[in-house]
Structure 1
């Protein structure tokens, strides 16, 4: 169920703008009432429900939304007000065009990667071997598990260190398959998801289709755009002491949930709301990264994170290298990387 909910969110993120479409006072009231009801019924953190609803009612009565005459302006303002007390980055509205919102029509295979290039190749958008035999994997989103993941780790299996770039990765599907490639062959609990009506325990995979990347250093690059399951990936591995995180503090969105229909417009388009219906608990920290984000081990501006990680990887390999000639080679590469060549 969690996979389906997250995948729905991915699709909606690709169709969330209504391009200035007008909204009527009647539609605004219907959306407001429906939003109130969905939030009150399904939002996981019950202590936040009453103050949030009171705040929404206050904004409505004050006329805050009166001058907002487009769907985008209204949904964005309403979303901000939902977050006033919750500080929940997942509470967002998504606008679905009529073809996507048509629940009864056959669903064509939409090339999401051509609509949003973060989803090209299910999020694995770049593989490279950097100078000094450092592997580099760019993961811009966590798409559906498939043969791309084992192929990516086959590509970097002979490198001496690995950099995984999560900058701008807004999440998507669960990341435990990718985590499994960096941990021993076992079933390791990475987190537990406490839903409104049940609990899911998320483990690593015992068997994988590609080679594991073990006993070698791994560096993760993050920024404020690293969010949701991308943060889960970083948070879990950081607390296992498996990775070094380099870059900026992440966005702070840990609460899983699902999208729910709020209002259908006359043209067949629809407005949905992503509602958080669970909280995540890491088995080591007994908490998660909600609001506070994942703190990097080495804090640098996002634009400098790759160069910094590359330098650190080379320095660590140089220090462990017993051969003087190889050490000199590392030193030469470090000098070149340091000046951006």
Structure 2
């Protein structure tokens, strides 16, 4: 078989990578549009996952060829026209054509299989992106976050990156896995990550590939440190969360080990292969479909979140929920700190507004200064660090860089006269406006 099996991966995850050839070189390229179209038709007739849709795709391409629609000199324009015709028939996010002579040459006419382990191109891409694990952070309340941008699978290298990320998350009192910019990847990586949360041996998904016997993916029998249980887990999604990332989101929904926060995912369920097309083109075509344990898949409908919110507010909403869940388990100042932090994230998610214009709060308060700039209010003690004030609504503000304190402004006759700096340990500092 020809080609780069990225198991649902980077046709969605990295369209720019597929189109990485310099524009000048692309425009100057010579190609035979008829040969390219005939190659695309053959690949789809023999491989496209939805067999009943193959004749319509073939007819659309044949019509465009006969009518001269594809007789253009610019390979980019050629690809755009082909993609428009394929989209009109299939509405398939994995089905597309790109001009990428470098990758096309790597695939070659004989083709190569690539679970990303046999292609230097994808191995290097994965290495430079730390196998998809792009960021690890400790947030307020010891909530641990991992931003995971691609379900890469390079065997031991990818496994080690996932395991390292999970070892970090394991130390958190709550966990956030950010898939908002994750366009997919390998079901092997999905299985590894899901195995940290679902029972050993649990059935994850059945793949139906061409005319091959179905292949079933099960959770791994053992993983380093054992399953993660007993802590709140949140998975952030967006409309750009696609393919293999949606498989993981489906397991979140199906097994209930985490809360999905954000917006409904892309709805790209099929698995794709890449085919080298004459003229330096690469065709991504769906060649298989998944089936979840409950039946069905997420194609064209995506996976809906339990906490629906705009993607840019998803982390704030997850943090609000996580901290509110953790607060009752704490006591004393620690509990107050968690409650205040939850309120701060809630205000950010709700985009809370102060009672007065920013300029009304600006001024000198003893040895402290509050200034207004284009972004809002900034607080600073003489000789100390500047920190943004986050509105909690009304005259109450959180300090961005000090979760153990907040400011409550005092007004008289509509004018701000001072503030009270409240601390989580119960102490207070009162300051009058100068």
**Bin for the TM-score computed over the shorter chain:** 0.7 to 0.9
Contact 1:19 1:72 in 2 (8 A): no
How many residues align? The count is: 326
Deviation per CA, 1:222-248: give whole Å up to 9, x if none: 111111101111112211112211111
The offset of 1:98, in angstroms, is 4.1
Deviation per CA, 1:271-312: give whole Å up to 9, x if none: 22122111110002x011101111111221111111111111
| Aligned ranges 1:88-99 → 2 under 5 Å | 88-98=92-102
The offset of 1:202, in angstroms, is 0.5
Give the alignment's TM-score, normalised by structure 2. 0.69
Partner of 1:153: 166
Distance 1:213 1:107, change over 3 A: closer
Partner of 2:70: 65
Contact 2:60 2:85 in 1 (8 A): yes
Which of the numbers 10, 16, 20 marks the counterpart of 2:19?
16
Shifted more, 299-308 versus 72-81: the winner is 72-81
Deviation per CA, 1:135-174: give whole Å up to 9, x if none: 1010001112321111111112121111100012111111
1:138 maps to 2:143: no
Partner of 1:188: 202
The offset of 1:188, in angstroms, is 0.7
Whole-Å separation in 2 of the counterparts to 1:47 and 1:219 = 39
Partner of 1:52: 57
Partner of 1:283: 293
1:250 maps to 2:254: no
Whole-Å separation in 2 of the counterparts to 1:331 and 1:142 = 35
Partner of 1:333: 341
In the alignment, structure 2 segments of 5+ residues that lack a partner are: 109-117, 349-389, 391-399, 401-434
Which of the numbers 317, 321, 326 marks the counterpart of 2:329?
321
Distance 1:45 1:80, change over 3 A: same
Deviation per CA, 1:87-130: give whole Å up to 9, x if none: 111112243434872568x975763258xxxx611000000111
The offset of 1:322, in angstroms, is 6.3
The offset of 1:214, in angstroms, is 1.3
Contact 1:246 1:300 in 2 (8 A): yes
Distance 1:23 1:39, change over 3 A: farther
Partner of 2:284: 274
Deviation per CA, 1:38-69: give whole Å up to 9, x if none: 11111121111112222223333444334x43
Higher Rg of the two aligned structures: 2
Contact 1:248 1:300 in 2 (8 A): yes
Q: More strand by proportion, 1 or 2?
A: 2
Partner of 1:39: 44
Q: Which has the higher contact order (CA 8 A, sep 6+)?
A: 1
SS in 2 for 1:159: coil
Partner of 1:129: 138
Distance 1:26 1:102, change over 3 A: closer
Deviation per CA, 1:204-224: give whole Å up to 9, x if none: 111113453212121111111
Contact 2:272 2:286 in 1 (8 A): yes
SS in 2 for 1:132: helix
What root-mean-square deviation, in Å, do the aligned CA atoms of Structure 1 and Structure 2 show?
2.8
Deviation per CA, 1:71-96: give whole Å up to 9, x if none: 12211321231122221111122434
Which of the numbers 30, 34, 37 marks the counterpart of 1:29?
34
Partner of 2:113: none
Whole-Å separation in 2 of the counterparts to 1:256 and 1:168 = 19
SS in 2 for 1:249: coil
Partner of 2:6: 6
Whole-Å separation in 1 of the counterparts to 2:31 and 2:238 = 40
Contact 2:10 2:183 in 1 (8 A): no
In the alignment, structure 1 segments of 5+ residues that lack a partner are: none
